Amino acid sequence: MSSSSESSLKAIFYALGANGAIALAKFGAAIFTGSGAMLAEAIHSSADCANQIFLLIGLRQSKKPADDAHPMGYGRVVYFWAMMVALLLFLLGGVFALVEGIEHLHHPEPLKNATVALLVLGVSVVLEAFSLYGAMVEIRKISHGKSFVRWFRETRQSELMVVAGEDIAALMGLGIAFIAVVLTAVTGNPLWDACGSIAVGILLMLVAFFVMREVKAMITGESADPETHAAIKAHIEARPEVEQVIHLITLQWGEQLMVAVQAKMAPQPSDRALIDAINVVEESLQKQWPQAKWCFFEPDVLDSKD
């Protein structure tokens, strides 16, 4: 298993363990206190648990070997499951919380025991912070010093991106719910609790939107990250067998990579020598980037259009 797969699996299991414990605590507190914001958070944590299971299914299916129907394998199936997670976060998390908040606006209910709600929220913050810390540790291992925002925009690891996005949304949502419960307890006005639920719903829908936007780009077909693409081009151009790279296409395929090269080759004494030179370049490329499972090389000449 590659290091990127191991990082994703660790982050998913961190999140699954934390969200399972958090969901149970929140449901108990929601029933005991009657808090709409707490119920919205409980549904959110339950959705997160389902999300992590979906991501594990995606990672498992992506390991299926290639066949006649899928000659390049099933690596990109992880993008489908990541999109399902984003939709679940949007619908079951965001929309439900929004509807629940609106319902409590029209039919406000008093908060029964704010102390219990605040205690559960505090414990949830600790567990969620642990999950986010685990995800960030794994991200730092593979981000090569990039800022989190830049890594989020450029990463091709949909499952790790989704886990990090969920954790950040969860911590922000917990903060909102905590403030809503405090204001409700201090003022005695249950409308604050309803507003907290609405705010949590809007937050989850915004996070889901950004995650869906990034996953959509992956499903559509993205190149390798900019650093890898540039490094591959520099590596090929540095080879003595190659005079110039005319075109280079990289396509991320789950964890694996497809590389298509059109290049002007150095003069060779025979067709066989040209083939051997191409094979040497391909072998050196795949040795440097083992994830480049497919490498298609086309020798060509420059013309005025190039």
Sheet bearing 242-253, strands edge to edge: 242-253, 256-265, 294-299
Does a structural domain hold residue 304?
no
Identify whether the C-beta of residue 140 lies closer than 8 Å to the C-beta of residue 4: no
The pLDDT score that the predictor gives to residue 65 is 87
Q: Which two tokens stand for residue 224?
A: 């390798």
Identify whether the C-beta of residue 212 lies closer than 8 Å to the C-beta of residue 90: yes
Q: What is the CATH number of the domain that holds 260?
A: 3.30.70.1350
Which residue has tokens 């005319």? 246
DSSP per-residue letters across 198-213? HHHHHHHHHHHHHHHH
* Same structural domain, 179 and 141: yes
Length of the chain, in residues: 306
Secondary structure of residue 75 in the 3-state scheme? coil
Which residue range is the domain that position 183 belongs to? 3-220
| Ramachandran quadrant class, 34 (left: phi over 0; alpha: psi -120 to 50; beta: rest) | left
* Same structural domain, 195 and 254: no
* Same structural domain, 119 and 162: yes
* Same structural domain, 99 and 177: yes
The pLDDT score that the predictor gives to residue 88 is 79
* Same structural domain, 161 and 280: no
Which residue has tokens 């997670």? 85
Domain tally, the chain: 2
DSSP per-residue letters across 25-36? HHHHHHHHH--H
Q: Give the burial class of 26: count Cβ atoms within 10 A of its Cβ; 0-12 exposed, 13-18 middle, 19 or more buried.
A: buried
The pLDDT score that the predictor gives to residue 4 is 61
* Same structural domain, 211 and 86: yes
Rounded to a whole number, what is the largest CA-CA distance in the chain? 89
The per-residue pLDDT string of the chain (306 residues; one tens digit each, 9 = 90 and over) reads 455 667 777 888 888 888 888 888 888 888 887 777 677 778 777 877 888 888 888 888 888 888 888 888 888 888 898 888 888 777 777 887 888 888 888 888 777 778 888 888 888 888 888 888 888 888 888 887 888 888 888 887 888 888 888 888 888 888 888 898 899 888 888 889 889 889 988 988 888 888 888 888 888 888 888 889 999 999 999 999 999 999 999 998 888 899 999 999 999 999 999 999 999 999 999 999 998 989 999 999 877 555
* Last-in-domain residue among 165, 200, 220: 220
Q: Which two tokens stand for residue 191?
A: 């409308």
DSSP structure class, residue 267:
P
The amino acid present at 41, given as its one-letter code, is E
The pLDDT score that the predictor gives to residue 226 is 87
Secondary structure of residue 138 in the 3-state scheme? helix
Identify whether the C-beta of residue 192 lies closer than 8 Å to the C-beta of residue 78: no
The amino acid present at 182, given as its one-letter code, is V
Torsion of CA 74, 78, 81, 85, to 10 degrees: 180
Q: Give the burial class of 143: count Cβ atoms within 10 A of its Cβ; 0-12 exposed, 13-18 middle, 19 or more buried.
A: middle
* Last-in-domain residue among 171, 196, 220: 220
Identify whether the C-beta of residue 89 lies closer than 8 Å to the C-beta of residue 211: yes
Q: What is the CATH number of the domain that holds 61?
A: 1.20.1510.10
Neighbours of 53 (CB within 10 A): 14
